Amino acid sequence: MKFSMSGRPRGLALNILTAACCLALPLCLVSTPSYALSEIQRQDLPSPATPPATTAPGATVPMPKAPGSRPSDQPADDTDKSEPDAPPNGGITSPRADPDVPPPPVVYDLNTLPEPVKRMHGLLIEACKTGDIEKLRALIGTGDAMTQLSLGDIDGDPITFLKGLSGDGDGQEILAILEEVLSAGYVHVDTGTPQELYVWPYFFALPLDKLDARQRVELFKLVTASDYDDMKQFGAYIFYRVGITPTGQWLFFVAGD
């Protein structure tokens, strides 16, 4: 799918197409607590959670199907279908916009977040505002606890990878998009399961064809009207989204389907 972005997202979308074939997304943000990134120690960050499943090495982000079709990433056999902990569409980063079930409430009040989630959200916003993408390094982490930055495997340094996605080459564009995503309303999904998450933006869990006029204005802060039409045909919001676990681990920052 092509994203004909306007403003900041346009440069990134073109870069995504040329660099990784759609590789691995905003509004009434209330004031967030201020945390000093310089004081972050690795031991202060959330304990590692079970990492989400990733695609095979060398795999690329699958492109959307033809208009009107649905995602086809179904389990290979019936045993996976009956797995109670498996999230919809087989991936924790996959959109949860099921038109057949009521969507989760859209929340803007950051004070309702659990403290670990609120803290990580504040640290991410603070890092974005510095303009220095290196400030994300301590929050991304390493090893099994590292934030998922792509729907496929990435090689090398994660900060270098993010700079490669950013249209300006230094990472300011990707920081701007991350801040815009975190400034949107959020949803609390899969409550009470191992996949429980707080996800920004809330379009992650809402059918796009049911957004009201106010919500579409919020969406157009991230994508263009043309992108919106394309994603409606695909069936879900597939631009950048952020997931944070209840324990405050920054689990993913990805785009694509």
The dihedrals phi and psi of 43, each to the nearest 5 degrees, come to: -70, -15
Q: Which residues of 180-199 are buried (b: 16+ CB within 10 A; e: fewer)?
A: bbbbbbbbbbbeeeebebbb
Stated pTM of the model: 0.67
Closest Cα partner for 25 from 170, 162, 177? 177
77 falls within a domain: no
Compute how many other C-beta atoms are within 10 angstroms of the C-beta atom of residue 232: 16
Question: What is the residue whose two structure tokens read 């959330």?
Answer: 46
> Cα Rg for the chain, rounded, in angstroms?
17
Beta strands across the sheet bearing 250-254: 187-189, 197-200, 241-244, 250-254
Q: What is the pLDDT of residue 166?
A: 95
Contact status, residue 131 vs residue 176, Cβ threshold 8 Å:
no
123 falls within a domain: yes
Q: What is the pLDDT of residue 46?
A: 55
Contact status, residue 116 vs residue 110, Cβ threshold 8 Å:
no
Contact status, residue 214 vs residue 203, Cβ threshold 8 Å:
no
Q: What is the pLDDT of residue 95?
A: 83
229 falls within a domain: yes
132 falls within a domain: yes
Contact status, residue 139 vs residue 250, Cβ threshold 8 Å:
yes
Distance in Å from the first CA to the final CA of the chain: 10
Q: Would you give per-residue pLDDT tens digits along the chain (257 residues)?
A: 444 444 444 444 444 434 443 333 333 333 444 445 555 554 555 555 444 444 444 333 333 333 333 344 444 444 343 333 434 444 889 888 777 888 899 999 999 999 999 999 999 999 999 999 999 999 999 998 999 999 998 989 999 999 999 999 999 999 999 999 999 999 999 999 999 999 999 999 999 988 999 999 999 999 999 999 999 888 899 999 999 999 999 999 999 98
Question: What is the residue whose two structure tokens read 């290979």?
Answer: 76
Domain with 96, as residue range(s), is 8-36+86-254
Amino acid at 42: R
75 falls within a domain: no
133 falls within a domain: yes
Q: How far apart are alpha carbons 62 and 115 in whole angstroms?
A: 36
In this structure, the dihedral spanned by the alpha carbons of residues 225, 226, 231 and 237, taken in order and rounded to 10 degrees, is -40
**Number of domains within the chain:** 1
100 falls within a domain: yes
Q: What is the pLDDT of residue 136?
A: 98
Amino acid at 193: T
Compute how many other C-beta atoms are within 10 angstroms of the C-beta atom of residue 159: 16
Residues 6+ apart with CB under 8 A from 81: 74, 75
Residues 6+ apart with CB under 8 A from 122: 32, 33, 34, 35
63 falls within a domain: no
**Token code pair at residue 167:** 């249209």
**Token code pair at residue 256:** 């694509």
Cα–chain-centroid distance for residue 144? 18
**Token code pair at residue 76:** 């290979």
